[in-house]
Amino acid sequence: MASDYAYGPSDAREAATTLHRALELGVTFWDTADVYGFGANEEFLRPVLQAHRPEVFLATKFGFVADGQGGTALDVRPERIAAACDASLRRLGVEVIDLYYAHRIDPTVPVEEMVGAMAALVQAGKVRFLGISEASAASLRRAAATHPISALQSEYSLFTRDVEAEILPACRELGVSLVAFSPLGRGLLTTAGPQLAAQDLRRSMPRFDDDNRAANAPLLAGLHEMAAAKNCTPAQLALAWLLAQDARLLPIPGTKRSKYLEENAAAAAVMLHPTDLQQLQQLLVAHPVAGARYSEGALRLVNR
């Protein structure tokens, strides 16, 4: 939250206020990663975690490393996993990570070997539960056969529903919670007009180019209209839809501001009836989402 990673500049003071407000609201499942700001986000959480560690269920991820050219490369080799975990523990200022994820699956590294190295962290008392991110149903099954997997983190929202075909059924079969990141479509509901900051990661995502923004305008208008009829915000409508999909599903909307944190938390009180869900489905069928969620290069690292 404190770093400028992904979605442009942030206000550290407001971000810290948002963390404390999250505790007040009972929003205590916190998710970060060592690549977010190349460690800066984990370090930012440290003061609050040290004061409130028992209250927070802490998740972080490993896998992406700096490539020396201003970008990232994937490295999930078993021999570096222990060092990555130790580095995250130091930055976070904690003795144990509640949920430790592999950020991506590398086809050159057997899933069993990667998860085996992660399992050693559980045995050492450094990690409580294991997870994987953006993995296929097949990789999830291989991982779960090696060590119990508590969570699979994948993008899931009204705008990105790839997990529904195979991944969500596999999670149900194996008793794995699906943690849905970018449940608000990376801000698609609210960033259709404003210019994105120069360093905003969404500039590399086809869904946010001018043509696709224009193509998605009718869908967004329909969602805004439906939200108004339900007396909620579009973001709350999108979160309520996700919560209605599966009892084990955990959406993790990100925000830098208390105002939007409070709005997101209130989505749990928005009740969608079967007719509402049907209306949303009809809207999505009438106006399919335009634009891929990642660039071609980034998509090659997804669902392996």
**pLDDT tens profile 18-41:** 999 999 999 999 999 999 999 999
Quick one: tokens of 213?
């923004």
User: Does the pLDDT of residue 42 top 90, yes or no?
Assistant: yes
Backbone CA torsion sign across 114, 116, 118, 121: negative
Among candidates 137, 149, 72, 75, which has minimal Cα distance to 106?
A: 75
Q: For residue 53, give the DSSP letter.
A: G
Query: Could you tell me if 160 and 189 are in contact, meaning their C-beta atoms sit under 8 angstroms apart?
Result: no
Which domains, ranges and CATH numbers included, belong to the chain? 12-299 (3.20.20.100)
pLDDT top residue among 193 and 85: 85
| Catalytic residue of the set 5, 7, 36, 294 | 36
pLDDT top residue among 121 and 301: 121
Question: What is the value of pTM for the model shown?
Answer: 0.91
Whats the size of the chain, residue-wise?
304
User: Does the pLDDT of residue 2 top 50, yes or no?
Assistant: no
Among candidates 214, 206, 284, 272, which has minimal Cα distance to 239?
A: 272
Is 36 tagged catalytic?
yes
In this prediction, residues 277-295 reach a mean pLDDT of: 93
